[in-house]
Structure 1
Amino acid sequence: MPTSQIIIAEARSWIGTPYRHQASLKGIGCDCLGLLRGVWRNVMGAEPELPPPYSPDWAEAGADTLVMAARRHLVEIGVAAFEPGDVLLFRWRDALPAKHCAIATSADTMIHAHDGASVAEVAFAPWWRRHLAYAFRFPES
């Protein structure tokens, strides 16, 4: 299993990458899933599957696609048990699917790509805590 330090260092190397829907190229562009995919490639190797094309409003279609994919490739843990280097999934309302992901860098910070902004390390503020729905750990390689 990659160490949390390796995962965090790789995620931090993406800071400043512009937001680009469906992209996953460090320094060129990525969305939140593209950031996670890029970190995976650089710490785990080849991606286990490529996502199909998706629209910006894909999660409103009803399927919890992001959670299902995370369960196929990551190790689910309780949201209260996340540690630095773990993957966090967020949903905007209880009835909606998770549609955003980030990588925890501490108990109080995370790295993510958000529409309209570059990849950044931000405070894991109360708003984010309220919307945290799932947490996952990278698997053993």
Structure 2
Amino acid sequence: MTSADPTRVIAIARSWLGTPYHDQASLKGVGCDCLGLARGVWREVVGPEPFPMPPYCRDWGETGPNEVLAEGARRMMPEIAPADATPGALVLFRMMPRAIAKHVGILTGPDRFLHAYERLGVIEEPLTQAWRRRIAFAFIFPQS
């Protein structure tokens, strides 16, 4: 499977900047959450989503052993080691130690990433050590 052009992935992801935060949404300029951002970028880079997104609640990842986001991403995207993630890669974050990964971002530079964050919407910010150490999984967008 060939990977999508990272420059294109980043340009499309940046076109979502300023989109307000809204749980379970995925509409550029209207509203999205972190997963909705990734889904929207997928649609523009790869094409239609391969399966419908089931409803989820805010605390969906607070309990349980299943890495739901990683398992879903594996169905559609080549997985890479987090240490090998470069700009254009989709990264999944563990927000607490020993919790499942439940936050999604897209690397836009060696030390920057873009994500949808509650109250702030889609923003690009530095990939600080605090964020970097939370990366649990990384994937690349396939070419359409």
- What's the TM-score bracket when you normalise by the shorter of the two chains? over 0.9
The residue that corresponds to 2:27 in the other structure is 25
Task: Give the alignment partner of residue 82 of structure 2, picking from 66, 79, 82.
Answer: 79
TM-score normalised per structure 2: 0.94
Q: 1:51 aligns with which of 36, 44, 53?
A: 53
More strand by share: 2
Q: Percent identity?
A: 50
**Which of the pair is proportionally richer in helix?**
1
CA distance in 1 between counterparts of 2:121 and 2:98 reads 28
Q: Aligned equivalents of 1:33 and 1:39: distance in 2?
A: 10
Alignment partner, residue 125 of structure 1: 128
Mapped partners of 1:30, 1:116: distance in 2: 11
Q: Is the Cα–Cα contact under 8 Å of residues 24 and 32 in structure 2 kept in the other structure?
A: yes
Deviation string, structure 1 residues 29-79 (Cα, Å, up to 9, x no partner): 000000000000011110011220000111113121101001111111011
How much does 1:91 deviate?
Answer: 0.5
Amino acid at match of 1:100: H
**Residue in 2 that maps onto 1:7:** 9
Q: Which residue of 2 aligns with 1:115?
A: 118
The CA deviation at 1:2 is 2.0
Q: Which runs of 5+ in 1 are unaligned?
A: none
Query: How many matched pairs?
Result: 141
Say whether 1:42 aligns with 2:71.
no
Quick check: 2:5–2:143 contact (8 Å CA) kept in 1?
no
SS in 2 for 1:100: strand
In the alignment, the residues of structure 2 paired with residue 127 and residue 95 of structure 1 have an alpha-carbon distance, to the nearest angstrom, of: 15
CA distance in 2: counterparts of 1:68 and 1:116, whole angstroms:
28
Q: RMSD of aligned C-alpha atoms? A: 1.0
